[in-house]
Every structure is written in C-alpha cells, then in structure tokens.
Amino acid sequence: MASPTPESGCRPGRPAHTLAGGGRDGEVTAVARRSPQEKKALSYAKDRRNDYGENDKSSRKNIRRNKRHPNRADRHRSHQVLAAATGPASATASEAAETKLLAKKSMWLTKRWRKYRDAPLADMLTFQLRRRARLGIDAPSTAEARIDRIRGARDRAGWR
C-alpha cells in the first residue's frame, strides 16, 4: 500500500485508492465531492416512494401473489375441463375438451395485473404539503414556501 502524496489531496494515513477513483491508465483522479445541498437535490429527484397507498414492505408479498393468481386460475380451469373428459377414450370427448380449453383466453392475458413504478420523492412531498395546507394542518403560505424550496432543489440538480 503506497502512502498518498500531498498532490493527491488525500489525508495522510489513508490509502489513495479509498478516497480517489481510478482514471485511465491507472492514474489517480480526485472524486468530485457533493455539497449537502447537491445531495438533497439529487435525493428529491432520484429517490422514490410507494404511492400506491399500501405498506411498501407488503409489496414484496403482493407482487408475487398477483403474478401467481392468474396462473393458478388457468391451471384450475384446465384441470376441471380435462376432468370432465375422463373415462373411455373417444375422439368426440377429446375434441370437445380441446375446443373448450382453447375457447377461453388465459387469465394471464385478460386480467393481467401490472406493476408500476414508485413516484419521485419530490412529488410525494409536494402532494403531502398541499394536503396538509388543504386540511388546515399547515398554513398555505408555509406549504407553498416549502414546495418552492423543493422545486428549486430539483431544478438545481438538473432533474425535470
């Protein structure tokens, strides 16, 4: 481990590779540090929150459940149709079962549930602040000042 040189800008006693990013051809380049205001602006723009109205932790279970349900319904229906066609093998019974299976589209295609992405943090906060002002929890002027601050931070970050 080589100790950093004074030109690299690293603190003494810290390896240069932990504080600086690798450049081309192995050269050590300084990492651009962000101010707290820049970090906050990027957080407003990039962080996302669940706006579906349910607990965000329950989405892990509900997404799997909603993908599982149509497949289970299709298997159940096909099992019922094929169970009706049991007995001695006959061409008419097998054709009738096949046409009945093909007659109805899969639940996966007809009643398909789809995920959609979460909302940006800035949008969620502006909605929350406007709601508080509408209900009389906060003063409308205070809420608008806070919304302007969020908008300004997002504009400084270069998002939307």
Domain presence at residue 1: no
Query: How many other C-beta atoms are found inside a 10 Å radius of the C-beta of residue 10?
Result: 19
Residue 86 pLDDT grade (very low, low, confident, very high; cuts 50, 70, 90): confident
The lowest-confidence range among 3-12, 42-51, 121-130 is 3-12
- The whole-number average pLDDT for the span 29-50 is 87
> With contact defined as beta carbons under 8 Å apart, do 19 and 31 qualify?
yes
Q: Which domain does 11 fall in, by range?
A: 6-33
DSSP-based three-state secondary structure for 21: strand
Token couple for 119 = 């909302």
Question: Which amino acid would we find at residue 160?
Answer: R
Domain presence at residue 80: yes
Residue 50 pLDDT grade (very low, low, confident, very high; cuts 50, 70, 90): confident
* 122 and 106 part of one domain: no
Token couple for 94 = 């097998």
Query: How many other C-beta atoms are found inside a 10 Å radius of the C-beta of residue 29?
Result: 11
Helix axes 91-103, 59-84, angle to 10 degrees: 150
> 89-143, pLDDT tens digit by residue?
788 888 888 888 888 888 877 877 888 888 999 999 999 999 999 999 999 999 9
Cα–Cα distances in Å, from 54 out to 57, 112, 115? 9, 20, 14
* 92 and 130 part of one domain: no
Query: What's residue 30's pLDDT?
Result: 79
Q: pTM of the prediction?
A: 0.55
When divided into structural domains, the chain yields a total of 3
* 140 and 65 part of one domain: no
Distance CA 79, CA 11 (A): 70
Domain presence at residue 89: yes
Domain presence at residue 103: yes
